[in-house]
Amino acid sequence: MKIGFIGLGNMGSPMAANLVAAGHAVTGFDLAAPAPEGVTMAASAAEAATGQDVVITMLPNGAILKSVAAEVIPAMAKGAVLLDCSTVEVDAAREVAGQCEAAGLGFLDAPVSGGVGGAAAGTLTFMVGGSDAAFATAKPLFDIMGQKAVHCGPAGNGQAAKICNNMILGVTMIATCEAFALADKLGLARDKMFDVVSTSSGYSWTMNAYCPAPGVGPQSPADNGYKPGFAAELMLKDLRLSQAAAEAADADTPMGQAAAALYEQFVEREDGKGMDFSAMLPRFEKRHREL
């Protein structure tokens, strides 16, 4: 396929490189990032989108997505697909989907899970919203860039799946960190805590696959000074998206709301910025109970 790729940062660059390695012709655009090997760089987003079968975007937020969409949609050929892999507001995804439909284009919102490592290895999971026809067009590209693509329904549902998943992730990580900090104060060794919980009803991804305690369980960012695998500020972004969606949908999400408030405090008023989201554990270690 002929592919335009807009947004060649930490995630977009390895994703584009994997498409090139699989034999696709990729034309890229980014305001600052260098060109991945094999990607032909364009002078603008519109130029990168012209004449392509699929245009992929990997952008920081919904406002930038809407700005880029306004530039690329008029340049895209009828029947082409705009595939957005950013994590943005559900409403932003649905707004761009409507613009694409009016222009005779397909649209997919396909946020990812798996981080930079998954992007480089081609093992991302895509949560996809959009039409069956657009999904069928993009499926060969999902197979190159990831290990799994789940078609979640109409436009916006990919974003809905991502923010619901990451709300669970944020809440669960906080609970896991709280439990380790409590175990410390009760004199329970961390390795014993892990051995019990990882095979009992407290089993979770944050305990078993991404343990926040260094030296316990499989390798994780905790074993590398909490350098980000998934940065705390990105978790805060996703939790804020979940709470904006919950407010719009009149959904009661008290645990998600509490997690968003805790990560906001950690990132914006403490020392969490630039740390992995599992660095909540050393935060709780240093704290005492508030009355």
Active-site amino acid positions? 162
Virtual CA dihedral for 64, 164, 141, 153, nearest 10 degrees? -100
Strand ranges (E), the chain: 2-6, 25-29, 40-41, 54-57, 81-84, 106-109, 112-113, 124-130, 146-153
Tokens 């305690």 correspond to what residue?
213
Structure token digits, residue 174: 């906080």
Per-residue exposure over 15-48, b if at least 16 CB sit within 10 Å of its own CB, e if not: bbbbbbeeebebbbbbeeeebbeebebbeebbbb
Tokens 């890229």 correspond to what residue?
28
The angle, 0 to 180 degrees and rounded to 10, between the axes of the packed helices 132-145 and 12-21 is 90
Residue 155 near residue 178, CB atoms below 8 Å: no
CB atoms within 10 A of CB 270: 15
Give the end-to-end CA distance of the chain in Å, rounded to a whole number. 61
Those residues whose C-beta lies under 8 Å from the C-beta of residue 29, and which sit 6 or more positions away, are: 4, 5, 6, 8, 41, 42, 43, 44, 45, 47, 48
* CA atoms within 13 Å, Cβ hemisphere of 185: 12
Q: What are phi and psi of 125, to 5 degrees?
A: -105, 130
